[in-house]
Amino acid sequence: MKQENYAMLCDFYEFTMSNGYFRNGFYQKTVYFDVFFRDIPDGGGFAIAAGLEQVIDYVKELHFTEEDIAFLRSKQCFDEGFLTYLKEFHFSGDIWAVPEGTPVFPNEPIMTIRAPAIEAQLLETFILLSLNHQSLIATKANRIVRAADGRTVLEFGSRRAQGASGAILGARAAYIGGCAGTACTLTDELYGVPAGGTMAHSWVQMFDTEYEAFKAYCENYPHQATLLVDTYNTLKSGIPNAIRAFKEILLPQGITDFGIRLDSGDIAYLTKKARKMLDAAGLQSCKIVVSNSLDEYLIQDLMAQHAQIDVFGVGERMITAKSTPVFGGVYKLVAIEQPDGSIEPKIKISENITKITNPHFKKVYRFYDKETGKAIADELCLHTETIDASQPHTIFDPIATWKTKEITNYTVRELLVPIFKNGVCVYDQPSLAEICQYCKEQIALLWDEVKRFENPHNYYVDLSHALWEVKQDLLKKNR
């Protein structure tokens, strides 16, 4: 999908700051910004990075039209020189990012931007809204998929999403997080996420009888027949009429792939009753689909009650990440490059310790245990540092510095990969199917303790000694 030109989808202060940079000659300064987040949604043990593809499309297409320039001129606060600069604007810098589908943790860069100050500043809003939104939904979707314990989860949230792009890209993110498909047709057309659906109660109400409605649906869609059985009375009429329609219309054609859907009532009780009725009728292959304001906790409860469910359709609580609807990613200046090529680290200090940034141009390494393959910890390092996996490596807690761990028999990889170089995209964008498979594989490398919903194990994100010393020096210098 080609990205629209969202140049003006930008916080106004990005323009006023950029105008100020232009006036003060800062526009030629090369700066470094990190994108990172501070808290994992829902108190979980990890998040999932998503939204990179849209950032790439945005950066490629970013330019300002004559209409954009005229609008900014009408605000009567921008220099003509700055507006002329915008007429020729194009991104000329470098970007590194973690691939979509990567499990990520607080306070580590998931994207780093190196560019002239104005270019880097003007990217902030779209980068944050894209990464924040899709990472949030991918993370929530994965929690729900894990709660379903191998049963199919479908994204059903378009009508409850926060606007059109929330529905379209939310469904894309949910697919990365592990959903098998979506109700959003446009997401299928644009991104290839399989779209499907059943019927609404209005279909049943349009016919004189419930049976006629089911019979007509089976005749129209013999290979996609999932019948909504709770319009009137689930156990007394809905399921019996569905059984009759299946036996009279589909079984004679040799079709055994069909299902019923429940969207109300006591789901655990009704699915158990439904399973018995279907099995007694010889319809053991009939799937039971459920929906109705589900999330990971309700699904866990249903599973604990031995509800007979094959497919979960999850809507509003996934597509809006209702329990924690904000991802909280931020975009912070971490360094300025001097004319001689040296890099001057920058830090943002706060009384709130969690808001103190990690300065400098950095790499992010992830360590894996060779025996189990599981991820051990991440370490933020200066961009000049390398790690020799043939040698023991000691990591330490950057807050409680006396807590150390020597890692041996490990492999290590850099998480941030080049996306843009000198304004040119150098990243080989994987297909959405490849992203989904990668995400599944990477999550499998996390310990189960990290994947707990309640009180997950704290995955360590540490600083190298060199980076820690740079941070301490800046803290002392600016206290």
Token digits of residue 106: 């607080």
State residue 479's pLDDT score.
Answer: 79
User: Rounded to the nearest 5 degrees, what angle is found at the Cα of 200, between the Cα atoms of 196 and 205?
Assistant: 150
State residue 354's pLDDT score.
Answer: 86
Q: Which residues pair with 379 in a beta bridge?
A: 365, 462
3-class SS shares of the chain: helix, strand, coil, % to 5: 40, 20, 40
Q: List average pLDDT for each run of 10 residues in the chain, which is 479 residues long.
A: 76 97 91 97 97 97 96 96 96 98 98 98 98 98 97 95 95 98 96 94 97 98 97 97 98 97 96 98 98 95 97 96 95 96 95 92 98 97 96 93 94 98 98 98 98 95 97 93
379 CB-near residues (< 8 Å, 6+ apart): 364, 365, 367, 387, 395, 461, 462, 463, 464
Tell me the three-class secondary structure of 372-436, residue by residue.
CCCEEEEEEEECCCCCCCCCCEEEECCCCCCCEEEECCEEEEECCEEEEECCEECCCCCCHHHHH
Give the C-alpha separation, 347 to 66, whole Å. 37
14 CB-near residues (< 8 Å, 6+ apart): 121, 122, 124, 125
| 147-168 per-position pLDDT tens digit | 999 999 999 999 999 999 999 9
Match 């509003």 to its residue by tokens. 316
Contact 260, 229 (CB under 8 A): yes
Give the C-alpha separation, 80 to 82, whole Å. 5
State residue 353's pLDDT score.
Answer: 86
| 169-183 per-position pLDDT tens digit | 999 999 999 999 999
Match 């270019």 to its residue by tokens. 119
- Residue spans of alpha helices (H) in 34-155: 52-61, 66-74, 80-87, 117-147
